Amino acid sequence: MNDVYLAVAPNILRKTVGEMERRFPTLNALPPSTHLEMFRNAEAMGRPGGMPVPDLTVTAYPSLADTLLAGGHGLFEPLPADLPPMRAELRELGMAEPSAFLRVVAVVPVLLIHNLAVDPPRRWADLCRPPYRDSLAVPPLDTPMPALFDAMMTVLCGEESGRVRAAKDTRFCPLDINKQVDLGNFAAGLSIPAFARTFRNDGAAMVWPEPGAWAVPMFACARRGCSPAALDFLRYLLSEEYQTYLSLTGCLVPVREGVEFFPEMRAAGGKMLWAGWEKLRRLRVDPGPAAEQETAPGAAACADTDSVSFGTTTQEGEPCTI
């Protein structure tokens, strides 16, 4: 089969596919085109009527993590034990893989952007108050972001987060959230660093909340009986060269020991909040109306993907479990 399914952000997709084609010419890239396609494939991969299991898959959708943590249903292969170990900071956070069926390739930090006409939301709890609670953009329902937002805000802020959870606007893709917050149509937006570094009108800025960005693992898995080339490509994805590219160009958290964090993460002291694998696998993406209508008026098609210091604190700063 030799197919590699890459449900990754467009800012790293072209380079990743190019290196795969150059180094492993027998492999065939299968990049999805929309968030909804990523959702559907993660939900139904290997099931009757669903997408056949590719030799290698890279994604951040939690429903596939749930399948893998349940044992892979005989469709997936345990990954080689001699792959490079996860860096110490992530292991100390609790992100070590609980199953041999998956391997984290990078971590996506979820943070905030805000319009410069309002004070920056320094803590996640600030979203529960004006002007943010009624003016917050969150990526669409066919991404893991709304479910992650609801779960994390409930843990961090409890009932106080009810209004902002109910009022969040999920019509816009990450690139459009950048534009909308920049124009002042929202006070703030949920984003990732790749879509939060620059703004056309210089009307917005990135915020790495003081308790930490939310960590979302981007992970790989392999089909049972996959080609050796697919596993060699996974080794390349975990190499120092590619991990450095993911960090400094892709604004993702590298999992390989010794690879430098990107500048914004270094400036934030590397603080992240992690929900834990059991919480992640239970996140349920519900595309709702996105299954029929994927875009908001004036928004482009959702082709840009995003997809918790380590330790989680409540609003008052006391430890809590997620």
Predicted pLDDT at 36: 79
| Residue 228: count of CB within 10 angstroms of its CB | 10
Residue 258 contacts residue 141 (beta carbons within 8 Å): no
CB 58 within 8 A of CB 5: yes
**pLDDT digit string, tens, across residues 90-132:** 999 999 999 999 999 999 999 999 999 999 999 999 999 999 9
Cβ atoms of residues 156 and 124 within 8 Å: yes
Residue 1 · residue 54 · CB < 8 Å: yes
Question: How does pLDDT run across 135-165, given as a tens digit for each residue?
Answer: 999 999 988 999 999 999 999 999 999 999 9
Query: Could you report the per-residue pLDDT of 252-298, keeping only the tens digit for each?
Result: 999 999 999 999 999 999 999 999 999 998 887 777 765 544 444 44
Residues 6 or more apart from 314 whose CB is under 8 A from it?
156, 320
pLDDT for the residue numbered 38: 82
Handedness of CA 110, 115, 121, 126 (dihedral sign): negative
Domains, the chain, ranges and CATH?
3-107+215-267 (3.40.190.10), 109-212+273-291 (3.40.190.10)
CA distance 84 to 311: 24
Share of the chain above pLDDT 90, in %: 74
Question: Percentage of the chain with pLDDT > 70?
Answer: 89
Cα separation, 132 vs 149, in Å, equals 14
| 315, pLDDT greater than 70 | no
Which range, 26-40, 55-69, 276-290, has the best average confidence (pLDDT)? 55-69
Instruction: Determine the average pLDDT of the residues in 301-312.
Output: 35
- Phi, psi (degrees; rounded to nearest 5) at 237: -60, -25
Q: What is the mean pLDDT of the chain?
A: 88
Instruction: Give the Cα separation of 300 and 306 in Å (integer).
Output: 15
